[in-house]
Amino acid sequence: MTKISFELWGLELLEPMGFLLNMVMCLVSVALYLRMKEEDATDFKKYWTNFYWLFAVSTLFGGFSHLLYNYFGMMGKIPGWLAAVLAISSIEMAVASQYESRQDTLKNLVRIKAVIILLLLSIDLQFTWVMVHTAIGLLIILGASAIHHIRMGQSHYYLFLYSIGLMILTLPFRLGGIDLHLWFNRDDVSHVFMIISLVLFYKGVKHRELAFKEAVI
């Protein structure tokens, strides 16, 4: 994949679009984190709140790791990738918190999975492990939970499935190595879909919390 290079203030920089879209994701995550933080929260919502601030950290570092790759190389990717792993684990923890009788066991499994991924990253510093971790967390764990709750009549969980669907739409671009334009490559497509997914996740959590409060009352 061809990367755009440019000079600014004497620095040789890369991937301006990757940097800009990561900054947009960071700002969206911060905004949604602040909105969630101000409201009363169940454990489910608290874990989602953690997801947003961790994802903000991930995309902040991710943006600069694109921009300054000539100076930091793969080592510059590490902070963003670590935060991304923890962010996805927070979603998995949110899912586990919904199943009271099994949540301790499920949360321990989430922790074990995160440790395994971090160990694999320490052995082989490749984004593949972050993608595997994300795919399991979103497509399998969150996806299965959403389908389960939809079958129980909780239609607001469709918002989570819509978000996951957007993630799936990025696969042909990534797996097929398809770049729409030099200034809008496969990573940029993924970033745009992720921005939309962040908002859909927020709406899903908000509707879930409203439904939960109504059920308690």
Give the helix/strand (H/E) hosting 189: helix 186-216
**Rounded distance, CA 70 to CA 3, Å?**
11
Q: Residue 209 — very low, low, confident or very high, per pLDDT cuts 50/70/90? A: confident
Q: What integer is the mean pLDDT of 85-107?
A: 94
Share of the chain above pLDDT 70, in %: 90
Domain boundaries defined on the chain: 5-216
The owner of tokens 């992720």 is 194
Please report the pLDDT score of residue 212 as a whole number. Answer: 64
| Cα distance between residue 114 and residue 93, in whole Å | 11
pLDDT band of residue 41 (cuts 50, 70, 90) is confident
User: What per-residue confidence (pLDDT) applies to 184?
Assistant: 77
Phi, psi of 170 (to 5 degrees): -80, -15
Q: What does the mean pLDDT of the chain come to? A: 89
Percent of the chain with pLDDT over 90: 60
pLDDT tens-digit map of 44-95: 999 999 999 999 999 999 999 999 999 998 999 999 999 999 999 999 999 9
Q: How far apart are CA 72 and CA 69, in angstroms?
A: 5
* Least-confidence region, from 90-99, 104-113, 154-163: 154-163
Those residues with Cβ within 8 angstroms of residue 82's Cβ, 6 or more apart along the chain or in another chain = 118, 121
Least confident among 40-44, 67-71, 165-169, 210-214: 210-214
- For 171-205, write each residue's pLDDT tens digit: 777 766 766 676 777 788 888 999 999 999 999 99
Q: What contacts 24+ positions apart, CB below 8 Å, involve 192-197?
A: 192/21, 193/166, 193/167, 193/169, 194/25, 194/166, 194/167, 195/21, 195/24, 195/25, 195/28, 196/163, 196/166, 197/163, 197/164, 197/166, 197/167
Q: From CA 129, how far away is CA 194, in angstroms rounded?
A: 18
Looking at per-residue confidence, does 52 or 169 come out higher?
52
CB neighbours of 50 closer than 8 A, spacing ≥ 6?
87, 90, 93
Sign of the C-alpha dihedral computed for residues 19, 23, 29 and 32 taken in this order? negative
| pLDDT for 124 beyond 80 | yes
Among the four given CATH numbers 1.10.4030, 1.20.1070, 1.10.1740, 3.40.630, the one describing domain 5-216: 1.20.1070
pLDDT surpassing 60 at residue 217: no
Amino acid at residue number 157 = Y
pLDDT band for position 42 (cuts 50, 70, 90):
confident
Higher pLDDT, 168 or 39: 168
Sign of the Cα pseudo-torsion (121, 75, 185, 137, in order): positive
> Beta strands of 1-144 (E only): which ranges?
5-8, 11-14
Q: Which two tokens stand for residue 114?
A: 């995160």
pLDDT of residue 40: 67
pLDDT digits (tens, 9 = 90+) for 137-147: 999 999 999 99
